Amino acid sequence: MFWITMIALLALGFVAAAPRWSGHEGVKAASSAARPAEPWIGLFGLGWAAYQLVYLLTHLAIFRVDPLFAIVYLIVLVMLGALGFFFGHAVIAKAAPGGPLQRWRDGLAPRRISLGTSAMLVAALNIVLDLIGGL
């Protein structure tokens, strides 16, 4: 489950931060290839974050056993949920148009690149720490 979360966070972070590196041909090609799938990647990220949040809340003992892990993982899930909502909004808006959902998305829009870059850095750091801890 950890790897699915980190791969989803890396994918959403890349899609969100791609405009920062739009001058590079490889990033531009990968970004344009992922553009049609952005809403579905976002919905997956949002759904996975919700599932993992419920899982984390049903296992509250982890906050006593390893509070640092629990807090970092909670931050990861919030980032994953925010990016998932941002990109999945196109599909969500078809089912529930208007209302506060559009305002939430508009509030996230100025933070898109910084949230994406932060998500990639947090995912990469978590992966490295997991690999080091496994040695």
Task: Give the pLDDT of residue 81.
Answer: 92
- Global pTM reads 0.82
Owning domain of residue 109: 2-16+39-133
Is 33 among the domain residues?
Answer: no
Does residue 30 form part of some domain? no
Burial class of residue 52 in the structure, from the number of CB atoms within 10 Å of its CB (0-12 exposed, 13-18 middle, 19+ buried): buried
Owner of token pair 């932060």: 118
Which H or E element spans position 10? Answer: helix 2-17
In a domain, 27, yes or no: no
Tell me the mean pLDDT per 10 residues along the chain, length 135: 90 86 72 80 92 90 84 90 88 76 80 90 90 73
- Residue pair 39/87 in contact (Cβ under 8 Å)? The answer is yes
For residue 24, is it within any domain? Answer: no
For residues 77 and 83, what is the distance between their CA atoms, to the nearest angstrom? Answer: 10
pLDDT attached to residue 134 = 60
**Shortest CA distance to 117 belongs to which of 28, 16, 43?**
16
Domain count, the chain: 1
Say what the pLDDT of residue 95 is: 76
